Amino acid sequence: MLPDVRPLATVNPTSTAFMRLREREADGEGLKSKYVYRWVPYSRISPSLKRAVLVAEDSAFWDHEGIDVEEIRRAIHDGLAKGQAPRGASTITQQLAKNLYLSPSYDPLRKIKELIIARRLEVALSKARIFEIYLNVIEWGDRVWGAEAAARTYFGVPAASLSRQQSALLAGAIVNPRLLTPARPTRRLLRRQRIILVRMGNRDQSAPHVASAPDLESDAAEPAPSTRKRPSRVAGKRMSRQSRPLTRPSSRIRREQ
């Protein structure tokens, strides 16, 4: 049975499937399973971190409806070329579905559930609410969950005060948070940080346009969290969103980097 995601519109999750999985793993190894997790509202998360995460994980987040068909096609093409199963096309909404309710396994049935839950999240919640939950619950290291816990654990500052450099380092670690730790950055993580910083651009985060990299368009001004659903389709076409914060970029940072 698939979960009812509608309560998430107004209720913050206190734990996730991934958190419970890590607790069981720690208990099985005889380790302390206490984790660091502190919810903060969207307004108290640095705009630099929001920008860095979008650049690293899902540049088209504000435009798609939970599933990025273009990225899926690209992942399938790349997988066939390499003789491997397609990987690396998950949107932020899909990642949230997996973190909240599923597991990190590569089971095809799990992937189908992830896609269905992602669509349900997009129907039930605003984009900003999805992003707010995502930033608060994703894994950012060993028993470190969410932006506030990560900011305080690695940099000794609240999530609201993260700099561009700190934000890019955190965003670069999302691809494999149990291997790439901002506490001891590897060459791979530092390389991802540099790529993210370039694609973030150099202008003030509050400016209408922040991207300077030639293959990235602006996505700076995210809307505030809201429980209001986005406009529905009318006559087979989606109604335009008010103050849509970004247009479709040409690429995102590949997750295998």
DSSP state of 116: H
pLDDT at residue 132 is higher than 70? yes
* pLDDT of the residue at 106: 80
| Between residues 242 and 109, the one the model is more confident about | 109
* pLDDT of the residue at 233: 38
Confidence tier at 117 by pLDDT (50, 70, 90)? very high
Task: Provide the 3-class DSSP secondary structure of residue 73.
Answer: helix
Residue extents of the structural domains in the chain: 37-211
At CB < 8 A and 24+ separation, what contacts does 131-134 make?
A: 131/42, 131/50, 131/61, 131/92, 131/222, 132/41, 132/42, 132/45, 132/225, 133/8, 133/12, 133/13, 133/96, 133/100, 134/53, 134/92, 134/95, 134/96, 134/99
pLDDT at residue 226 is higher than 60? no
* pLDDT of the residue at 236: 36
Q: What CATH number belongs to 37-211?
A: 1.10.3810.10
Lowest mean pLDDT among 24-38, 62-76, 215-229: 215-229
Yes or no: say if 38 and 195 are a contact pair by the CB < 8 Å rule.
Answer: no
d(C-alpha 105, C-alpha 120), whole Å = 21
* pLDDT of the residue at 35: 81
DSSP state of 37: E
